């Protein structure tokens, strides 16, 4: 008989980032090991279960690639809108945890938004006033802006509060289990309009890309009580029951603070293409295995990782996926197919992702970052600061305090919100 979780030794936790990180890492790791062992299984045995599952997925991805198939699922917006998504496409979305939505917006609409953003930033003298990158999250970001710290352009808000966006977000949120143990963890049909930035990468760009990393948190993933609950099956010997699509305990606690962090719970991260982008032009890649989070969470417990090291995870920096600790996962890195302006791209919030390097990029690489962030206690709390940022044209709290748009007269105003926008910001 398995030991009941309540009878297992409790884990220490740190609601705030601990001051002595290596000591806290060593402490929580040995406590997790003791908890797993008290369940009657060894850490090696539990990790082997996860490794087998991940290896099977990596092999499936390699086989699909060898057959010349697209690794990323692709679903037409029209099928999402009509409720006619083929069961095979749905199954592949659940398996791979990522998706391209074809024709999410008409191509002309996306191109017109792209031009609208250019008018907005140029008309407000953004390039003359740009002071360099405001965060230290990724050291590879250069001094010329590729990521614009612009949040309140009319095109961004029009996309965020559009019916088409709401429909796709509800479809994606619906892939998650949002109710369990008598708790409704989030509202799948109501998004919280999480404001993020835009990227405009011009033709001819040479870019080193962005290393493989993930965004759901850092050391807080092991160290806060909410996350210890969310990942409970990994830590109590019931690893077979771990479900990457279960939102239980994920929608209450925030992340440890950092210069660029995400206070919101996102079911999927995503962006909408504002230009056509070919697959070999420095595009997004993911490790399309949602369950790989179990591997990432348990790998630091193995004996070859130094006691005070969480496989390189620190606070205030992106969670790295590295050849040293995660080479099995990185073998599955798969790029998006060619996308056209108006398509959108989505990936499960826990998944490893990277941006490939490019030399002499052909065409523009322009996107608006718009995730699926359903209404839940965590997102409701953050929405209060979003309302204030919208009112004053400020950079939202999760981002560096650059505030370029405060004096820009043509930014989107609260009075321009439609019913979806108001609901998303908690205004009715």
CB of 26 to Fe ion, least distance (A): 28
- Provide the minimum distance between the beta carbon of 101 and Fe ion in the complex, in angstroms, as a whole number: 19
Radius of gyration of the chain (CA): 21
| Cβ distance to Fe ion smaller for residue 215 or 405 | 215
H or E element in which residue 373 lies: none
196 or 215: whose CB is closer to Fe ion? 215
* Closer residue to Fe ion (CB): 77 or 271: 271
Q: Which is nearer to Fe ion, 105 or 271 (CB)?
A: 271
Q: How far is the CB of 259 from Fe ion (least distance, A)?
A: 14
Element (H, E) at 380: helix 377-392
- Our CB check for Fe ion shows the closer of 196 and 276 to be 196
Closest CB 269 distance from Fe ion, rounded Å: 7
Task: CB nearer to Fe ion: give 222 or 347.
Answer: 347
Contact 266, 115 (CB under 8 A): no
Backbone angles phi, psi at 407, to 5 degrees: -100, 10
Three-state DSSP state, 237: coil
**Contact positions toward Fe ion, by CB under 5 A?**
215
Handedness of CA 83, 86, 90, 93 (dihedral sign): negative
Burial of 26: CB neighbours in 10 Å, binned 0-12, 13-18, 19+: middle
Residue closest to Fe ion, measured at CB? 215
Nearest residue to 353 via CA among 371, 340, 341: 371
Rounded CA separation 243/246 (Å): 5
CB of 426 to Fe ion, least distance (A): 26
Q: Shortest gap between Cβ of 285 and Fe ion (angstroms)?
A: 11
By the 8 A CB rule, do 217 and 266 touch?
A: no
Write down the least CB distance from residue 209 to Fe ion, Å.
Answer: 12
Q: Is 210 left (phi over 0), alpha (psi -120 to 50) or beta?
A: beta
Specify the residue, 57 or 215, whose C-beta has the smaller distance to Fe ion. 215
Q: Which of 319, 294, 292 is closest to 216 using CA atoms?
A: 319
């Amino acid at each position: 008989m398995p030991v009941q979780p309540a009878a297992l030794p409790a884990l220490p936790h740190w609601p705030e980032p601990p001051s002595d990180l290596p000591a806290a890492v060593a402490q929580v790791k040995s406590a997790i090991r003791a908890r797993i062992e008290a369940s009657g299984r060894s850490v090696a045995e539990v990790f082997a279960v996860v490794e087998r599952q991940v290896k099977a997925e990596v092999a499936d991805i390699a086989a699909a690639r060898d057959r010349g198939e697209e690794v990323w699922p692709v679903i037409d917006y029209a099928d999402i809108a009509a409720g006619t998504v083929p069961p095979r496409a749905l199954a592949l979305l659940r398996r791979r945890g990522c998706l391209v939505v074809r024709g999410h917006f008409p191509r002309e609409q996306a191109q017109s938004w792209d031009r609208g953003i250019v008018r907005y930033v140029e008309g407000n003298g953004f390039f003359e006033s740009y002071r360099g990158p405001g965060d230290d999250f990724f050291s590879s970001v250069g001094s010329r802006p590729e990521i614009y710290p612009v949040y309140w352009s009319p095109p961004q808000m029009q996309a965020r509060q559009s019916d088409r966006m709401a429909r796709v977000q509800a479809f994606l949120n619906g892939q998650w289990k949002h109710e369990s143990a008598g708790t409704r963890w989030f509202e799948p049909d109501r998004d919280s309009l999480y404001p993020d930035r835009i990227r405009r990468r011009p033709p001819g760009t040479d870019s080193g890309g962005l290393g493989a990393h993930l965004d759901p948190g850092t050391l807080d993933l092991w160290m806060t009580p909410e996350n210890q609950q969310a990942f409970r099956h990994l830590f109590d010997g019931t690893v077979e029951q771990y479900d990457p699509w279960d939102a239980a305990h994920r929608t209450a606690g925030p992340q440890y603070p950092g210069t660029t962090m995400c206070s919101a719970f996102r079911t999927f991260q995503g962006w909408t293409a504002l230009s056509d982008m070919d697959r070999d032009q420095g595009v997004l890649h993911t490790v399309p295995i949602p369950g790989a989070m179990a591997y990432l969470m348990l790998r630091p417990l193995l004996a070859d990782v130094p006691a005070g090291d969480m496989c390189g995870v620190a606070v205030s920096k992106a969670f790295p996926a590295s050849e040293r600790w995660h080479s099995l996962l990185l073998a599955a890195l798969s790029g998006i197919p060619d996308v056209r302006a108006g398509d959108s791209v989505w990936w499960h919030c826990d998944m490893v992702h990277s941006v490939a390097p490019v030399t002499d990029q052909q065409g523009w690489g322009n996107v608006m970052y718009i995730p699926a962030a359903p209404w839940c206690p965590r997102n409701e709390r953050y929405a209060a600061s979003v309302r204030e940022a919208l009112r004053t044209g400020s950079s939202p709290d999760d981002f560096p305090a650059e505030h370029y748009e405060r004096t820009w007269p043509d930014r989107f105003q609260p009075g321009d919100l439609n019913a979806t926008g108001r609901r998303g910001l908690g205004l009715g």
